[in-house]
Amino acid sequence: MTWAAFQDAAANGIIAVAVFCFIVVFLRNMIGLAQLLIANWVFVTRIEPSEGARELWQRYADLAMPITVIAPAYNEELSIVESVKALLALEYPEHEVIVVNDGSKDDTLGQLLRAFELEKCDRRQIAELQQTKIRGAYTSRRFPNLLVIDKENGRKADAANAGLGFARTPLVCVIDADSIIEPDGLLRAAEPFMHDDGRLVAVGGAIRVVNGCTIKGGSLQEIGVAKGLVPRFQVVEYLRAFLTARVANAHTNTLMLISGAFGLFRRSTLVEIGGYRHDTVGEDLELVVRLHRHLREQKRDYRFAFVPDIVCWTEAPSALKGLDNQRARWQQGSLETLQRHRRMIFNPRYGRVGMLAMPHIVLEDVLGPPAELFGYIVIPAAALLGLLDPMMAVAFFFVSVVFGSALSVGTLILEEQQLRRTPSARDLLRIGWAALIENFGYRQINLWYRLQGVLRFLRKDSTWAAVPRAGFNAG
């Protein structure tokens, strides 16, 4: 090959990469716009104004199926007592709380023993789904509906499976131990099951960032906004994920993720598929994808629901250190799920899940991060070298950054119109400012973290990188 031919081939390669990056980013943002429009339409036409807790109780107390709330806990000594108090105080006719101490190295178990006056009991499992040893079961002298399980460390999926094996109710709610559900959240989550014809498998709800809020006695006393920009950016991300993507996906029957921070499931179906997998760091996504696959292959009629006014408050990383581990883990878990269930992609046997939802995950988690990150480098470089029209670089900046900011602001407007959970105009402006500037640096940093997750996936690195916790009321 001559030098001129090599130069031509290199130029054509750069142009092809640049065009590919532009198309991927454009498609991702167009899907985001479609989700925002669908979510807005659902809120306006399909979602009725929420009833108060008293009205819900009066209407459904005699229909509410018993629920077991399972809270896996690992090194949660800073917030475990307040979290459990909040779970015990949930406004629900009949619920049990099972806290699974997953071999914590700190004083998580000690905090529980002292705060709730625990004593050993001989409670037996109905189904043994975990892989590690149960060291003991404890009941509380003060709270008869509290059960604490102490087990060897096996990570969250194993802990959730251990709790699932002890549960005796038709519905189970799996929640992160560092999260707080609003008092009527469980009742709102269970409401779709009260109207169910037997097809409903699971219900997801909105997750919000607790950083900056005031927590007392295990309950949310005052909604606030964190001082730091990193948790504020995450407020915007969570709004985008739960008020647009989840609402739109549930409406189109393509809901593929019920957050590990809060989800309500039919217990028999979880036991039927063996519970959570132990060999992935993205157990929540893998579980829902496997549920879809199992039910489709059995040709069963089923559905998943999402209720946006169920609010579960969770502690988000307060600094970039910690956020890196979380985002890399999410990315790695998504790739592991896609690899395990790759036969579903573009497979008409799985209906719109195979033809739409799985390809969308490929676009978001396989093609999206490297295409956008490389696009920031390749497209301006190609324009400077005269290989591309400079207007394409301008268009890429508009599509990736400006349009991304517009979608974030649009989601914030939707939240303010429909749910109005932001307490003051000042806080709304602070979140709005975060929505405008998150695409100028924060988004690109996240893409880099996600690429680290890709590398971990390729290396088959199964280590669990913990996210540092500051505790509730840390700001």
Q: What pLDDT, in 10s, does the model give residues 21-37? A: 999 999 999 999 999 99
Please, which pLDDT band fits residue 472 given cuts at 50, 70 and 90? low
Packing angle between helix 283-297 and helix 155-166, nearest 10 degrees? Answer: 60
Eight-state DSSP code of residue 66: P
Tokens, residue 148 = 């604490």
Q: According to the model, what pLDDT value does residue 76 have? A: 87
Torsion region of 209: left, alpha or beta (phi above 0 gives left; psi -120 to 50 gives alpha): beta
Contact 161, 129 (CB under 8 A): yes
Please, which pLDDT band fits residue 426 given cuts at 50, 70 and 90? confident
Q: pLDDT digit string (tens) for 267-304?
A: 999 999 999 998 898 999 999 999 999 999 999 999 99
Q: Which residue has the higher pLDDT, 78 or 435?
A: 435
Please, which pLDDT band fits residue 58 given cuts at 50, 70 and 90? low
Is residue 74 pLDDT above 60, yes or no?
yes
Contact 104, 74 (CB under 8 A): yes
Q: According to the model, what pLDDT value does residue 260 have? A: 86
What is the pTM for the complete model shown? 0.92
* Cα distance between residue 166 and residue 30, in whole Å: 45
Q: According to the model, what pLDDT value does residue 468 have? A: 62
Is residue 184 pLDDT above 90, yes or no?
no
Across 184-207, average pLDDT: 89
Q: pLDDT digit string (tens) for 231-264?
A: 999 999 999 999 899 999 999 999 999 988 899 9
Q: According to the model, what pLDDT value does residue 61 have? A: 67
- Backbone dihedral angles phi then psi of residue 337, each to the nearest 5 degrees: -65, -45
Tokens, residue 173 = 């709610």
- Identify the three-state secondary structure at position 69: strand
Is residue 9 pLDDT above 80, yes or no?
no
Q: According to the model, what pLDDT value does residue 152 have? A: 95
* Cα distance between residue 372 and residue 407, in whole Å: 17
Please, which pLDDT band fits residue 64 given cuts at 50, 70 and 90? confident
Please, which pLDDT band fits residue 13 given cuts at 50, 70 and 90? confident
Q: According to the model, what pLDDT value does residue 6 have? A: 67
Q: With pLDDT > 70 as the criterion, what percentage of the chain qualifies?
A: 93
- Backbone dihedral angles phi then psi of residue 386, each to the nearest 5 degrees: 80, 10
Q: pLDDT digit string (tens) for 316-364?
A: 898 898 899 999 999 999 999 999 999 999 999 999 999 999 999 999 9
Q: pLDDT digit string (tens) for 391-403?
A: 988 999 998 888 8
Across 133-143, average pLDDT: 94
Question: Across the strands, what pairs with 181?
Answer: 312
Length of the chain: 475
Is residue 265 pLDDT above 70, yes or no?
yes
Q: According to the model, what pLDDT value does residue 473 have? A: 59
Contact 462, 328 (CB under 8 A): no
Q: According to the model, what pLDDT value does residue 353 have? A: 96
Tokens, residue 302 = 């089923």
What are the residues whose beta carbons fall under 8 Å from the beta carbon of 365, sequence distance 6 or more?
Answer: 331, 334, 335, 338, 450
